[in-house]
Amino acid sequence: MFYRGGQPFELLKSEEPVAPPGTGLTLGVDLGGTKIQAAVVDRDGRVVATHRTETDVDGGPSKAVADIVLCVNACVPDLSGIGAVGVGVAGQIDAATGIVRSAPNLGWHDFPLADQLEQVLGVPVVVENDVRAITWGVWRHGAGRGIDNLIVLFVGTGVGGGIVSGGQLLTGDRGVAGELGHATLIADGRLCSCGRRGCIEAYTGGLAIAARAREAIDANPDAGRGMLDAAGKGDVTAAVVSQAAADGDRLAAALMKETGEYLGSAVVGLVHALNPRRIVLGGGVVDGNPFLVDAVASAVQADAIPIFADRLDVTGSELGSQAGVIGSASLARRRLEEGSREGG
């Protein structure tokens, strides 16, 4: 159903233009610390063309803008049929102005990404936090369709989230609501990337899993031998831990089981705060360890107050690794729809 990875050119050689005017296509960009992906997405949330490249973090914002434009052009050489472009960025985004306030993985501060891209691309550009964009995509096209009270939690290198409550995507006072990775899990606990201690991300994100694994290996080198061997000359990353756990390594399995318990506690707390109908989990850590969805579902049923748990369900996102670009493209569509409503 989706075109995955960097082979979009077949599509571009077809007789029909990829994006004829009026077809309702939008373009989504997922800008992360390791890769930049662009995709043309139709009004049903299907990816019809996609292209990706590695992120050149050292190149700074101007290199990133150039690489985004390259990816966009690789998907669709003529933007005349694309109504708008959405960009999801891991970090704090001022969505009203499209300014990236802070993106630690990229090392950016206060960069006017939407303005810069609009000047080059010549179409409206919206910029949003990556997981807030994903939340919109999950709500429109994924496992959150039709759900008025929804929490989306994506666990990758870091942890991000989004909240739909009463049929509205919450933005908060500055447009940054839903930073669930930095809700409290263990007050004054492990140091987090945000500088505070005890955040959900500091226990369950990919970087945290790797750090917990290193500590466990240091504490018990014999038990850690399997993960060290699997890592070879590289670091023990969350991916190494996941794979080792899947291969039956006992210490790795214990680490991932503990990750499920942390994630379960985190979600139960969010459930009590927000009383959602559905929890959607995604991101690399969850996609690579689908048992985590069941672990969280079990924690909710065991520990949440009954009226909160009775008809709550916990599920994967259905959007897989395309969640970022589908989310960004669906945010671009929202901008178009709001624009046309405002225009009459």
Q: What is the CA angle 170-86-5, rounded to 5?
A: 115
Of 4-12, 62-70, 198-206, 327-335, the segment contacting a copy of itself by CB under 8 A is 198-206
Three-class SS state of 53: strand
Classify the C-alpha dihedral 106-53-316-190 as positive or negative: negative
Radius of gyration, CA atoms only, the chain: 20
Q: Which is nearer to a copy of itself, 79 or 100 (CB)?
A: 100
Residue 207 binds a copy of itself, judged by CB under 8 A = no
| Cα separation, 40 vs 19, whole angstroms | 8
Measured CA distances, 247 to 42, 212, 217, 250 (Å): 39, 19, 17, 9
343 Cβ contact partners less than 8 Å away, ≥ 6 residues apart: none
- Choices 44-52, 162-170, 225-233, 243-251; region in contact with a copy of itself by CB under 8 A: 162-170
At residue 129, what is the residue type?
N
Measured over the CA atoms of residue 35, residue 40, residue 45 and residue 46, the dihedral's sign is negative
Question: Two tokens at 255?
Answer: 């680490």
Q: Nearer to a copy of itself by C-beta: 3 or 203? A: 203
Work out whether 258 is an interface residue with a copy of itself (CB under 8 A).
no
Q: Which of 33, 269, 316, 320 binds a copy of itself (CB under 8 A)?
A: 269
- Supply the minimum distance, in Å, between the C-beta of residue 143 and a copy of itself: 16
Nearer of residues 180 and 239 to a copy of itself, judged by Cβ: 180
Q: Which two tokens stand for residue 84?
A: 């708008």
Cα–Cα dist 320/50, whole Å: 14
- To which residue do tokens 């029909």 refer? 16
Specify the stretch interacting with a copy of itself by CB under 8 A; choose among 16-24, 41-49, 112-120, 177-185.
Answer: 177-185
343 binds a copy of itself (CB under 8 A): no
Looking at residues 101 to 160 of the shown chain, list those that interact with a copy of itself (rule: CB under 8 A): 101-102, 148-149
Please give the single-letter amino acid code of residue 144. Answer: G
To a copy of itself, the closest distance from the beta carbon of 192 in angstroms equals: 10
By the 8 A CB rule, do 88 and 39 touch? no
The yes or no reply on residue 177 touching a copy of itself (CB under 8 A) is yes
Report how far residue 169's alpha carbon sits from residue 150's, in angstroms, rounded to the nearest whole number.
9
Assess 69 for contact with a copy of itself (CB under 8 A).
no
35: which 2 tokens? Answer: 């890769």
Q: Tell me which of 273, 291, 294, 339 binds a copy of itself, using CB under 8 A.
A: 273
Tell me, residue by residue from 296 to 315, as one string, x for binding to a copy of itself by CB under 8 A and - for no binding: -------xxxxxx-xxx---
Q: In the complex with a copy of itself, which residue's Cβ is closer, 28 or 181?
A: 181
Q: With both helix axes pointing from N to C terminus, report the angle between 206-219 and 250-274 in degrees, rounded to the nearest 10.
A: 140
* Least gap, CB of 139 to a copy of itself (angstroms): 15
Q: Judged by CB, which is closer to a copy of itself: 2, or 308?
A: 308
Task: Say if strands 159-165 and 168-169 run parallel, antiparallel, or are unpaired.
Answer: antiparallel
Of 2, 277, 284, 298, the one binding a copy of itself (CB under 8 A) is: 277
Position 268 contacts a copy of itself (CB under 8 A): yes
Size of the residue set binding a copy of itself (CB under 8 A):
59
2 near a copy of itself, judged by CB under 8 A: no
Positions touching a copy of itself (CB under 8 A) are 92, 94, 101-102, 148-149, 161, 163, 165-166, 168, 170-189, 194-196, 198-199, 203, 261-262, 265-266, 268-270, 272-277, 303-308, 310-312
